[in-house]
Chains A and B, each alone.
Chain A
Amino acid sequence: MRTPSLSALALALGGGLLAAPAFAGRLDLSVQIPQLDVAEYHRPYVAVWLEREDRSPVGTLAVWYQQPKKGDKPAGEGAAAMAGAGEGGSKWLPDLRQWWRRSGRDLSLPADGVSGATRPVGEHALSVVEGSAALAKLPAGNYKLLVEAAREEGGRELLELPFQWPAAAGQTLQAQGKSELGLVRLALSR
């Protein structure tokens, strides 16, 4: 795997449009978590991952789920286990069922630079540079970026953004969620 030099990375970060083919590409994603008028609201679990044309996973770019609380013991023993505590929220990860199947169940959590806490209502930006820990160098081909959200006492939604790599300069894709996700936008550059 080729690691981009600092200057190349800075250039790619500063102006993807100017980046020469040898430079690392990047994916700039914006995920909107919608405001919902419900009696009992919990922040959704969200997973973002990349798949090849044959649905094999390239990898998970982000997963937001309830983090273990300080002092949580491993699940299994005593009253804490009975109350469902100490599971660090990982108990509900299979509810992101496509992600769990395609990528999540192979992932060891927490994963550096990938897993994090649930996010509040609003727009959340996520930038992934090719060749980083979250995303290895992408060979040319057809890919799909998937965003899946599942909410306790709520529903589940999956959005797909198919794209070709390498991308045309300044290409932007978007998909509009109907229930658990709002607008999802993906800007591709390399």
Chain B
Amino acid sequence: MNLSLLRASLLLALSLPFAAQAHKAWLQPSKTVLSVNQWVTVDAASSTDPFVKDHNPQRLEPLRITAPDGSELAPENAHTGKLRSSFDLQLKQAGTYRIALVNNGLNASWEENGQRRMWPPRGQPFSAEGFAKEVPAQADKLKVVASQRRTETFVTAGKPSETALKPTGIGLELQPITGVNDLYADEPARFRFLLDGKPAAGLKVEVVADGVRYRDAVNEIEVRTGADGSFELRWPQPGLYWLSTAVEDQQVEAPATERRAVYSATLEVLSP
């Protein structure tokens, strides 16, 4: 292996964890402000630009839909295609629904005979049984990272409510201060990020407006959460927004040594 090739492969190895993050996970609801008994349809995918269906679908096994009364609902007409998954939901109850893809698991990497190994393989789901079977207890350069990913959106029939938004206390969660389906382009919105149910200070929050494909720059908005985990957003225009943050720390139990929590939400901002 010549030096430049070595350097290139080193660079590739270094950039891999970031490359994996370059695709944004998103849920795209057809509407977010509706009256009771209406249907919504939701697309679920990941791509470089939010809401552009050109990469991979999201698997729907981790889908958790919470009704306004706190009960769990099943999606209808669930389908996974080449570029996106989709499902329908009828809003029979008045109030706010939380629609989330929740992936909590462990990612292991190690070396075996000088070969780099990963489990679960890219694109495969985590399972405790699989982990116990496939990941050695001791291995060269064994690293186990706890991964907590939450990708969500919210829809409301009639008057907004808060029961479905109650934090689970696991990983990163968004707590609305000015509401999740009461967002208007002429009003600043406030939210709070929670990590394991407690305010998460100093997080970098990235916000991208829909329509990246039709402009020359992403024009992402970056804000930081304050000491109480809260932050304020001013919307440049009405439309769909993708909001995301991530955190890495050592707040984990063995065999994991690190935790990576990633959160993203889709919010709809209406014109006043």
Contact = CB atoms under 8 A, between A and B. Distances in A.
A106 interface: yes
A84 to B, nearest CB: 10
A94 interface: yes
Contact of A76 (B35, B90, B270, B272): B90
B35 A90 contact: yes
B158 interface: yes
Nearest to B90: A76
Interface in A72-109: 74-76, 87, 90-91, 93-94, 97-98, 100-101, 105-106
Contacts of B37: 74-76, 87
Contacts of A106: 159
Contacts of A94: 33-35
A94 B90 CA distance: 16
Contacts of B272: 98
A76 B271 contact: no
A90 B37 CA distance: 10
Nearest to B31: A94
A97 B271 CA distance: 8
Nearest to A90: B35
Given A76-B37, A91-B34, 7 more contacts: A74-B37, A76-B92, A90-B35, A91-B35, A94-B34, A97-B271, A101-B184
A94 B33 CA distance: 7
Binding site of B, secondary structure by majority: helix, strand, loop or mixed? loop
Sorted nearest first, the 6 A-B pairs with minimum C-beta distance are A75-B37, A105-B159, A105-B158, A94-B33, A90-B35, A93-B35
B196 interface: no
B136 to A, nearest CB: 52
Interface string B77-105: 00000000000001010000000000000
A38 B92 CA distance: 36
What does DSSP make chain A's interface, helix, strand, loop or mixed? helix
Contacts of B237: none
A101 B92 contact: no
A100 B182 CA distance: 11
Contacts of B158: 105
A76 B272 CA distance: 30
Contacts of A97: 33, 270-271
B7 to A, nearest CB: 56
Nearest to A158: B272
A91 B33 contact: no
Interface in A43-93: 74-76, 87, 90-91, 93
Interface string B247-272: 00000000000000000000000111
Interface in B150-185: 158-159, 182, 184
B53 to A, nearest CB: 24
B61 to A, nearest CB: 26
Interface in A16-63: none
27 contacts: A74-B37, A75-B37, A75-B38, A76-B37, A76-B90, A76-B92, A87-B37, A87-B38, A90-B35, A91-B34, A91-B35, A91-B38, A93-B35, A94-B33, A94-B34, A94-B35, A97-B33, A97-B270, A97-B271, A98-B272, A100-B33, A101-B182, A101-B184, A105-B35, A105-B158, A105-B159, A106-B159
Contacts of B184: 101
Interface in B7-42: 33-35, 37-38
Nearest to B157: A105
Contacts of A105: 35, 158-159
Interface in A96-136: 97-98, 100-101, 105-106
A94 B158 CA distance: 8
Nearest to A109: B35
Nearest to B270: A97
A101 B33 CA distance: 9
Interface string B178-204: 000010100000000000000000000
A75 B270 CA distance: 26
Nearest to B271: A97
**Looking at A75, A87, A98, which has the most chain B CB atoms within 10 Å of its CB?**
A75
Nearest to B33: A94
Contacts of A91: 34-35, 38
A173 B271 CA distance: 26
